[in-house]
Structure 1
Amino acid sequence: MTIFLLVIIYLAFISLGLPDSLLGAAWPVMQLDYGAPLETAGFLFMTIAGGTIVSSLLSGRLLKRFGTGNVTFVSVLMTACALLGFYFAPSIFWLVVCAIPLGLGAGAVDAGLNNYVATNYKAHHMSWLHCFWGVGASLGPIIMASFISGENTWRNGYLVISCIQFALVIILLLTLPLWGRVKNNSNLSVSEGIADSEGVTPDEDIKDIKPLKIRGVKLALVAFLFYCGVEATVGLWGSSFLVNVKGISAATAAGWVSFYYVGITVGRLITGFITFKTTNQTLIRAGQIIALTGAVILFLPLPSAFSLAGFIIVGLGLAPIFPCMLHETPARFGKTHSQTIMGYQMAIAYTGTTFIPPLLGFMASHLTLGIFPVCIVVFVAAMLLSSEKLNDLLKKKVSLKSNSTVM
């Protein structure tokens, strides 16, 4: 039963990744159909991201009241309806309307499933879960391209993805009773973090403390902000950097950046196996150091060929960080507030994805794209620093608890 539900969660994460890359793949054709300006895609993206941030912030309350299974079912249903709305949308106005439930559905299901896996399954499942998101994000453009390249339109691509989502809705409806059973029968022992001022376990003594008041939470949020800022910035501006600064052709640059995404996806698959031998904390630190190494390679005035290695190394380094940080949430801050804190983390993550890449673009437009590797080094270093400060804080709390127990 536990394994069967895990398969359902994997399928849900594939479906979560499917819509994420559709707009970018379809927009060149959609723009012509609607006669819209180029920047309209950015406005649609911001609308989706805004909905995702809002639902992530509210996810803690929703999950506690309705349960992960019910929230996931409704969220995927909203996503399926929104994608179907894209298929029928007669104007840009209706695309904006449909973008709202698309974002709201994505944020709630993302935070809910991440917390469910973090509290009920072991670390390797979290890494593989996000690897499956990469599978969905890769399949979306492939499905859309097959329709755009043929005699069909982009609308049919959205229709197919919508049908896939509705199929998952039916599966989720039929398996709703399983969610509570697996949670009640879970034998996973979460190593609780020490988060309160008196050095006692979170679940025992911080029930009445607001999640943001728990020491270390804000440091964790900073790490998530810069992680997603780095991941999205490299993906958005990597090709432009290679073309404008390194003098590489656009086709070659696109191919090189695709290896960056391959590094993340394959790295997460490999990370799932490595978690059997080491801890999340070790993998987070190692990933940050590897990513920083790749960023430094991009920064140094080396021949252009080294840039390919730099992108691959950054991708491999980023691979374990996000899923391992998510899985550490209940261990760092306790199960009592893990759902709410998970929602905060996802909201901050989407904030980083939404605002940091445009910020770099704004800076580059007034300076030069040569600042790209400098910013990546700074962002990764800031993530590493906040993460290490959090580790030190948690160690001190563990020490305080040990001393108080002995006394």
Structure 2
Amino acid sequence: MATLFLVIIYLAFISLGIPDSLLGSAWPVIRPDLGASFGFAGILSMIVAGGTIVSSLVSGNLVQRFGTGKLTLLSCCLTAGALLGFSVAPSIVWLVFLAVPLGLGGGAIDAALNHYVAENYKARHMNWLHCFWGVGATMGPIIMSYFIAERHSWRNGYAAVSMIQFTLAIILLVTLPLWKRVAERRSSSRESMNHPADHAGTEGSLPAGVTPSNVLLIRGVIPTLVAFLFYCGVESTVGLWGASYLAGARNMTAEAAAGWISSYYGGITIGRFITGFVTMKVGNRALIRCGQITAIAGGLLLALPVQPLFLVGLVLIGLGLAPIYPGLLHETPVRFGQGNAAKLMGVQMAVAYTGSTLLPPLFGVLSTHASIAVFPVIVLAFLVIQLLSAEKVNRSLSRTGLSSR
């Protein structure tokens, strides 16, 4: 039953990943069809991400009221309905309104399942969970590219993804009783085992003068939040504007550009699948640093004018990003104590979504007034800031002896 339960969680994260990569892949054809400005994709992305911030902040209360299973089912239905609305939207105004439920549904799934897995499973499962988000994110551009190339319709692409979402919702509905049974088993198992190690970090993890309501004063938290901000900022910026960059600055067709964005998400997916095994031998801290360096190398290749190299760079950025986000999430109770982990997880998710909300639209404004050709420079800047912030956390916690990896 435990294996089946993990499969359900992974399927839920597929449903979370599919919509995340659709807008950027389809925007080169949505924009002229609906008469939108080039930078308006950033506004839509900001609305979606804003919804995820709201739902992630209240996800703790929602889980307590409905349970993780019901909340995941309701959120999946919400995103499926929003995507179906995208497929029939007569104007850009409709996309603005539909972006709200799309963001609310995605944020609730993300925050609830991330906290559940960080609390109950090992690091490899956190990486594989986000690997399955990458499976969904990779499927999105592939589906959209097919419908643009074969059917000449981005609307059919959104309709197809909506049907996939509704199918996953049916699976969640049928297996809903499993969530309660697994929760009861895990609760009784923890009570019977009662290992002292399970409670490490729950006492004395707050420095003097810091209350549980003000965890931002804990050493290392602020630079950690900066790392989350720029990680999600760069991941979303590449996903949203990568196809437009390839089509506008590298003269690729819309369907080819969408296909390469799928390869970018494929790099994230494959990287997280491999990282899940590597975590059995290598600590999160080393994997995060290796991923950051790899992503920066990919950013440098992306800036080169030679076609094979800048396309390789795009995939390399995806591979490099793979271990960073799940690694940072899983390190939360290790670095800051389990007693602080629940509150910090919500704060980290909110800041991460803020990066997704603000940084891609800011790039859209910049590219509108300058040129889409600045894309590699901005991506590199985000990656470097993210690396420096994470290294500041490592140095800070090393001085206090709290970071063991």
Under TM normalisation by the shorter chain, which class is it?
0.7 to 0.9
Q: 1:156 to 1:65 in 2, by over 3 A?
A: closer
Q: CA RMSD in A?
A: 3.6
Name the stretch that deviates more: 350-359 or 178-187: 178-187
User: Which whole-Å CA distance do the structure 1 matches of 2:240 and 2:260 have between them?
Assistant: 13
1:232-273 deviation per Cα after TM superposition (whole angstroms, max 9, x unaligned): 22334445555666x554476665554333222211111111
**Equivalent position to 2:327, from 314, 324, 329:** 324
Q: 1:98 to 1:171 in 2, by over 3 A?
A: farther
- Partners of 2:140 and 2:262 within 8 A in 1: no
1:32-75 deviation per Cα after TM superposition (whole angstroms, max 9, x unaligned): 88x55356655443332221111112223434555433433332
- Partners of 1:190 and 1:331 within 8 A in 2: no
- Match of 1:110? 110
**Residue 353 of structure 1, CA deviation:** 2.1
**Equivalent position to 2:237, from 233, 237, 249:** 233
- Match of 2:342? 339
Is 1:290 paired with 2:294? Answer: yes
User: Which whole-Å CA distance do the structure 2 matches of 1:143 and 1:366 have between them?
Assistant: 32
User: Which whole-Å CA distance do the structure 2 matches of 1:329 and 1:179 have between them?
Assistant: 24
- 1:199-238 to structure 2, matched below 5 A, reads 208-238=212-242
**Residue 382 of structure 1, CA deviation:** 1.2
**Residue 164 of structure 1, CA deviation:** 1.4
The one-letter amino acid paired with 1:340 is K
User: Which whole-Å CA distance do the structure 2 matches of 1:189 and 1:159 have between them?
Assistant: 41
Is 1:279 paired with 2:257? Answer: no
- Match of 2:136? 136
User: Which whole-Å CA distance do the structure 2 matches of 1:243 and 1:102 have between them?
Assistant: 26
How does the TM-score come out when normalised to structure 2? 0.81
User: Which whole-Å CA distance do the structure 1 matches of 2:64 and 2:217 have between them?
Assistant: 19
Name the stretch that deviates more: 328-337 or 302-311: 302-311
Is 1:270 paired with 2:269? Answer: no
Q: 1:190 to 1:271 in 2, by over 3 A?
A: farther
The one-letter amino acid paired with 1:279 is G
User: Which whole-Å CA distance do the structure 2 matches of 1:156 and 1:304 have between them?
Assistant: 33
- Match of 1:201? none
**Residue 389 of structure 1, CA deviation:** 1.3
1:352-397 deviation per Cα after TM superposition (whole angstroms, max 9, x unaligned): 2232123234334444445433323322121111111112222233
Name the stretch that deviates more: 22-31 or 333-342: 22-31
1:119-156 deviation per Cα after TM superposition (whole angstroms, max 9, x unaligned): 11111111111111121223345556666745996374
- Partners of 1:84 and 1:162 within 8 A in 2: no
The one-letter amino acid paired with 1:322 is Y
Q: 1:44 to 1:384 in 2, by over 3 A?
A: closer
Q: 1:206 to 1:9 in 2, by over 3 A?
A: farther
How does the TM-score come out when normalised to structure 1? 0.81
- Match of 1:3? 3
Name the stretch that deviates more: 46-55 or 61-70: 61-70
Aligned residues: 391
- Match of 2:206? 196
User: Which whole-Å CA distance do the structure 2 matches of 1:364 and 1:28 have between them?
Assistant: 15
Q: 1:314 to 1:43 in 2, by over 3 A?
A: closer
Q: 1:161 to 1:195 in 2, by over 3 A?
A: same
Q: 1:275 to 1:243 in 2, by over 3 A?
A: same
1:273-308 deviation per Cα after TM superposition (whole angstroms, max 9, x unaligned): 111111111111111122122223445x67444323
Q: 1:374 to 1:389 in 2, by over 3 A?
A: same
Is 1:391 paired with 2:394? Answer: yes
- Give the secondary-structure state (helix, strand or coil) at the position aligned to 1:13: helix
User: Which whole-Å CA distance do the structure 2 matches of 1:77 and 1:256 have between them?
Assistant: 29
- Partners of 1:225 and 1:351 within 8 A in 2: yes
- Partners of 1:112 and 1:339 within 8 A in 2: no
- Match of 2:21? 21
Question: Identity across aligned pairs (percent)?
Answer: 51
**Residue 162 of structure 1, CA deviation:** 4.3
- Match of 2:73? 73
**Residue 29 of structure 1, CA deviation:** 7.5
User: Which whole-Å CA distance do the structure 2 matches of 1:103 and 1:312 have between them?
Assistant: 26
Name the stretch that deviates more: 248-257 or 274-283: 248-257
Q: 1:43 to 1:380 in 2, by over 3 A?
A: closer
User: Which whole-Å CA distance do the structure 2 matches of 1:327 and 1:297 have between them?
Assistant: 30
- Give the secondary-structure state (helix, strand or coil) at the position aligned to 1:316: helix
- 5+ residue gaps, structure 1, are 199-204, 401-407
- Partners of 1:48 and 1:102 within 8 A in 2: yes
**Residue 210 of structure 1, CA deviation:** 2.8
User: Which whole-Å CA distance do the structure 2 matches of 1:176 and 1:206 have between them?
Assistant: 36
**Residue 212 of structure 1, CA deviation:** 2.8
